[in-house]
């Protein structure tokens, strides 16, 4: 059995077949019955004092390949049906006297992606030199607590450079520079107090102090410095050595650093604590971003705390803003506008709204908007100036980062704000502001207001939350939700093509055949045929203008004498134009042709029924051939359904189908208007099929929703109910979106 992954280590327990007994590594001996046992490598190594808690496991064949692709260091694994052998390396590695071998025939392995810091294999031993024992011009491995660092920045040479300073229990501080072309190889550092392990660094003396520089074969691994938090190695490297002694070293450094004044005095600053003029580090979440010019990007962020000073709002055109609207948070003085300059653009450009961020050395500045009077109070703006002095910079934080736990719990309390950010009251709906070019490249101002009204109205009773399109895309179907979006594009652009024929039986959907195709069917049916002669029908014929073509009308004898006898007429030998003219005077005309004098329906490419200005089509796949012995009794009023039933035709329904490309500040999304189309336009599809006025009405509405040649700002916002669902497409689940429960308001 191949290696399988589960999402949670607790799921491993459910995977254990009932005939297997859980056993611990320590209790494994050469005489253990392996076929009835399984091992879950779950114990926290820090809690263990007993000997032989680690065991080598050797994988063979495809299992080895599968395992190496599925498992990462630190994963919890469950092994079963292994072979127990004597460990040849026991004397050397001091691990378990046995080793487990898995050859892949009947064995199975489950791997949990949750990292519980368990060592899978121990490969090599490293020695680490205390920082006060470093000798010049040697290559060493060291551990240290980071007391200062800069995010990697481009050097004047060919590489990025990380500059940091570390210390350890010896209290000696050592500077360290790391050069690498690849950003991902640089140490992942979030804050002062993080712990770093350096392998193969060269020592040298610089300005009377020891310094470290990466040299061939170098690597770095970093850890969060919080005491009692899990020891999770941070590295981009796929293979690295990490064992119990590393965990111990990290724990010891954490403990030591926690009592040092330089770290315990490091107060975390939230927006509520910011004073004008301060330089500080800010942990926050990105709400929206906008490129201001080639040297400046605006990041709108929040940390859930309210600033004591009024915050400056930087206005940008809504189409230049990526991310959700911040109107409500702006009003509550929760949104910090951060202007990010110069060298930091490289990082800022890649950030996506929703990301958690860490700013380093952010500058809070009181500023007056250009149009503000001198007597009005100034507002607080935030600048991440160019350069890297004082470690100035920014980086995204992974969502699971321990540094984010308190931020997340504060943001949770604002969950209503996040969801209802775009106001529900229909008055203040969006800020949009395009600065006139003449004034300059951008302007600052405070609470601009403009109003746009929704054109569509949701009719559903759901009390679901309004989501951004980006959130909808991240959601798992099935789901109903509300969105506010503009129509970027729609298909078909030729709106008559949105009228479709749909078979409710086989779910086939077809375009309505165009007149030239239908006319051809009529011409070919009328060619060289003699009027049909059916016992059940009364027939009258007339010559057409064309020689050799006879037009015949047939009425069921069953109906003669009944009030319905003129309601259903079979007609033969006409052109399409002629039957269209005739259908003005007769309620139901069924075009037929003669095959060996027997009455037969035309090819179902043509309508099987003309009824006033409407034409009805039958499904080619589902229609039964019961026309040989039609029954016409017992029907009071003939409509398309009764006719279809009598003829054994599967009636196709008219439907309207439009595909919208919706857009909001966060994303675009393709949504169908399908089951809800008639309600949306207040137009029935079958009526639209025969009415130019109704088709014009649809066109007018579409021109309002998406005015031809309009810019994005000119398009109205639509308040929509969306249904998110999945369909099987080539055996793969595809997520689809449909507009439901929504109508266009009629003024």
Partner DNA sequence: GGTTAGGATTAG
What is the SS3 assignment for 119-177? CCCCCCCCCCCCHHHCCCCCEEEEEEEEEEECCCEECCCCCEEEEEEEECCCCCEEEEE
- Computed from CA positions of residues 322, 406, 229, 147, in that sequence, does the dihedral angle turn out positive or negative? positive
Compute the distance between CA of residue 433 and CA of residue 431 in angstroms, rounded to an integer. 7
Using CB under 7 A, pick the residue from 97, 230, 310, 387 that binds DNA.
Answer: 387
User: In 10 A of CB 325, how many CB atoms?
Assistant: 24
Of the listed pieces 79-87, 384-392, 475-483, 494-502, which binds DNA according to CB under 7 A? 384-392
Encoding tokens for residue 630? Answer: 């039609």
Compute the distance between CA of residue 341 and CA of residue 344 in angstroms, rounded to an integer. 6
Using CB under 7 A, pick the residue from 177, 260, 550, 684 that binds DNA.
Answer: 177
Of the listed pieces 47-55, 88-96, 155-163, 686-694, which binds DNA according to CB under 7 A? 155-163
Of the listed pieces 42-50, 144-152, 500-508, 615-623, which binds DNA according to CB under 7 A? 144-152
Whose Cβ is closer to DNA: residue 346's or residue 703's? 346
Compute the distance between CA of residue 445 and CA of residue 448 in angstroms, rounded to an integer. 7
Whose Cβ is closer to DNA: residue 96's or residue 385's? 385
Using CB under 7 A, pick the residue from 295, 349, 465, 474 that binds DNA.
Answer: 295
C-alpha 660 chain-centroid distance: 18
435 binds DNA (CB under 7 A): no
392 binds DNA (CB under 7 A): yes
Residue 695: CB partners within 8 Å, gap ≥ 6? 495, 496, 688
Pairing of strands 336-341, 379-384: parallel
- Cα dihedral: 339, 343, 347, 348 (round 10): 20
389 binds DNA (CB under 7 A): yes
- Residues in the interface with DNA (CB under 7 A) total 36
Using CB under 7 A, pick the residue from 64, 115, 161, 735 that binds DNA.
Answer: 161
Using CB under 7 A, pick the residue from 17, 47, 157, 547 that binds DNA.
Answer: 157
Residue 245's SS3 state is helix
Cα distances (angstroms) measured from residue 32 to each of 95, 101, 102: 18, 14, 15
Closest CA to 579 of 555, 544, 528: 544
**Does residue 196 contact residue 144 with C-beta atoms inside 8 Å?**
yes
Of the listed pieces 69-77, 208-216, 468-476, 601-609, which binds DNA according to CB under 7 A? 208-216
Compute the distance between CA of residue 604 and CA of residue 644 in angstroms, rounded to an integer. 12
Compute the distance between CA of residue 401 and CA of residue 262 in angstroms, rounded to an integer. 22
Per the listing, tokens 């100036």 go with: 385
Site for DNA in 245-284 (CB under 7 A): 279
Whose Cβ is closer to DNA: residue 178's or residue 576's? 178
Residues in the chain: 747
206 binds DNA (CB under 7 A): yes
Site for DNA in 343-362 (CB under 7 A): 361
Using CB under 7 A, pick the residue from 33, 216, 494, 711 that binds DNA.
Answer: 216
464 binds DNA (CB under 7 A): no
Whose Cβ is closer to DNA: residue 182's or residue 598's? 182
Using CB under 7 A, pick the residue from 106, 342, 546, 577 that binds DNA.
Answer: 342
Distance in Å, CB of 291 to DNA, minimum: 14
**Does residue 100 contact residue 112 with C-beta atoms inside 8 Å?**
no
Compute the distance between CA of residue 249 and CA of residue 233 in angstroms, rounded to an integer. 12
167 binds DNA (CB under 7 A): no
Compute the distance between CA of residue 603 and CA of residue 624 in angstroms, rounded to an integer. 13
Whose Cβ is closer to DNA: residue 161's or residue 172's? 161
Site for DNA in 296-335 (CB under 7 A): 296
165 binds DNA (CB under 7 A): yes
Distance in Å, CB of 168 to DNA, minimum: 15
230 binds DNA (CB under 7 A): no
Using CB under 7 A, pick the residue from 18, 158, 563, 629 that binds DNA.
Answer: 158
Of the listed pieces 16-24, 25-33, 158-166, 494-502, which binds DNA according to CB under 7 A? 158-166
Using CB under 7 A, pick the residue from 148, 445, 454, 536 that binds DNA.
Answer: 148
Whose Cβ is closer to DNA: residue 383's or residue 587's? 383
Angle value at C-alpha 555, between 552 and 557, nearest 5 degrees:
135
Compute the distance between CA of residue 684 and CA of residue 495 in angstroms, rounded to an integer. 15
Whose Cβ is closer to DNA: residue 179's or residue 256's? 179
Of the listed pieces 142-150, 478-486, 618-626, 664-672, which binds DNA according to CB under 7 A? 142-150
Using CB under 7 A, pick the residue from 92, 156, 413, 507 that binds DNA.
Answer: 156
Which residues are near DNA by CB under 7 A? Answer: 147-148, 150, 155-159, 161, 163, 165, 175, 177, 179, 204, 206-207, 211, 213, 216, 279, 295-296, 341-342, 361, 363, 383, 385-392
């Amino acid at each position: 059995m191949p290696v399988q992954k589960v999402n949670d280590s607790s799921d491993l327990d459910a995977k254990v077949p009932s005939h297997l007994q859980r056993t611990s590594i320590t209790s494994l001996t050469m005489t253990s019955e392996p076929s009835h046992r399984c091992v879950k490598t779950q114990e926290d190594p820090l809690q263990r004092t007993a000997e032989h808690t680690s065991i080598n496991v050797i994988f063979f064949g495809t299992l080895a390949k599968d395992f190496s692709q599925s498992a990462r260091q630190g994963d919890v694994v469950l092994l079963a049906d292994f072979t127990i052998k004597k460990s040849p390396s026991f004397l050397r590695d001091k691990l378990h006297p046995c080793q487990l071998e898995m050859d892949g025939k009947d064995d199975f392995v489950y791997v949990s992606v949750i990292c519980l810091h368990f060592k899978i294999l121990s490969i090599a031993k490293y020695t680490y030199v205390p920082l006060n024992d470093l000798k010049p011009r040697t290559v060493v491995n060291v551990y240290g607590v980071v007391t200062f660092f800069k995010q990697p920045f481009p050097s004047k040479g060919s590489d990025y450079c990380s500059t940091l300073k570390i210390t350890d229990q010896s209290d000696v501080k050592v500077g360290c520079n790391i050069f690498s072309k690849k950003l991902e190889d640089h140490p992942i550092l979030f804050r002062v107090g993080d712990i770093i392990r350096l392998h193969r660094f060269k020592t040298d003396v610089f300005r009377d102090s020891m310094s470290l520089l990466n040299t061939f074969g170098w690597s770095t691994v970093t850890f969060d410095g919080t005491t009692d938090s899990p020891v999770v190695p941070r590295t981009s490297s796929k293979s690295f050595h990490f064992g119990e002694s590393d965990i111990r070293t990290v724990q010891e450094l954490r403990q030591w650093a926690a009592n040092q004044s330089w770290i315990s005095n490091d107060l975390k600053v939230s927006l509520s604590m910011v004073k004008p003029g301060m330089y500080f580090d800010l942990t926050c979440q990105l709400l929206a971003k906008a490129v201001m010019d080639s040297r400046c990007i605006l990041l709108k962020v929040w940390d859930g705390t309210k600033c004591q000073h009024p915050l400056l709002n930087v206005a940008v055109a809504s189409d230049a803003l990526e991310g959700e609207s911040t109107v409500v948070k702006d009003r509550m003085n929760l949104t910090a506008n951060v202007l990010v300059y110069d060298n930091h653009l490289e990082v800022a450009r890649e950030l996506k709204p929703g990301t958690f961020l860490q700013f380093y050395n952010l500058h809070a500045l009181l500023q007056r908007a250009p149009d503000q009077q001198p007597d009005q109070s100034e507002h607080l703006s935030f600048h991440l100036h160019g350069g890297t002095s004082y470690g100035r910079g920014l980086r995204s934080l992974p969502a699971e980062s321990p540094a984010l736990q308190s931020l997340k719990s504060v943001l949770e309390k604002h969950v209503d704000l996040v969801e209802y950010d775009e106001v529900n009251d229909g008055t203040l709906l969006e800020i949009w502001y395009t600065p006139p070019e003449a004034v300059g490249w951008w302007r600052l101002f405070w609470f601009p207001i403009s109003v746009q009204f929704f054109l569509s109205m949701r009719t559903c009773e759901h009390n679901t939350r309004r989501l951004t399109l980006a959130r909808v895309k991240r959601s798992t179907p099935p789901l109903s939700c509300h969105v506010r979006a503009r129509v970027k594009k729609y298909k078909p652009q030729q709106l008559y093509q949105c009228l479709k024929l749909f078979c409710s039986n086989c779910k086939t959907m077809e375009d309505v055949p165009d007149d030239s195709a239908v006319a051809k069917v009529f011409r070919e049916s009328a060619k060289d045929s003699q009027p049909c002669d059916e016992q059940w029908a009364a027939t009258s014929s007339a010559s057409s203008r064309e020689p050799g073509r006879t037009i015949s009308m047939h009425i069921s004898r069953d109906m003669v004498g009944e009030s319905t006898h003129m309601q259903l007429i079979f007609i033969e030998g006409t052109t399409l134009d002629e039957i269209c003219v005739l259908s003005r005077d007769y309620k139901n005309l069924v075009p037929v042709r003669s095959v060996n004098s027997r009455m037969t329906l035309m090819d179902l490419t043509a309508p099987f029924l003309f009824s006033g200005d409407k034409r009805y089509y039958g499904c080619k796949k589902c229609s039964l051939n019961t026309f040989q012995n039609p029954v016409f009794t017992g029907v009071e009023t003939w409509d398309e359904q009764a006719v279809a039933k009598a003829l054994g035709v599967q009636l196709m329904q008219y439907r309207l189908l439009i595909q919208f490309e919706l857009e909001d500040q966060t994303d675009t999304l393709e949504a169908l208007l399908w089951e809800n189309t008639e309600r949306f336009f207040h137009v029935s599809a079958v009526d639209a099929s025969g009415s130019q006025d109704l088709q014009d009405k649809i066109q007018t509405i579409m021109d309002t929703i998406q005015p031809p040649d309009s810019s994005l700002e000119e398009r109205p916002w639509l308040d929509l109910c969306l249904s998110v669902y999945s369909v099987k497409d080539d055996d793969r689940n595809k997520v689809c979106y449909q507009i439901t429960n929504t109508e266009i308001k009629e003024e």
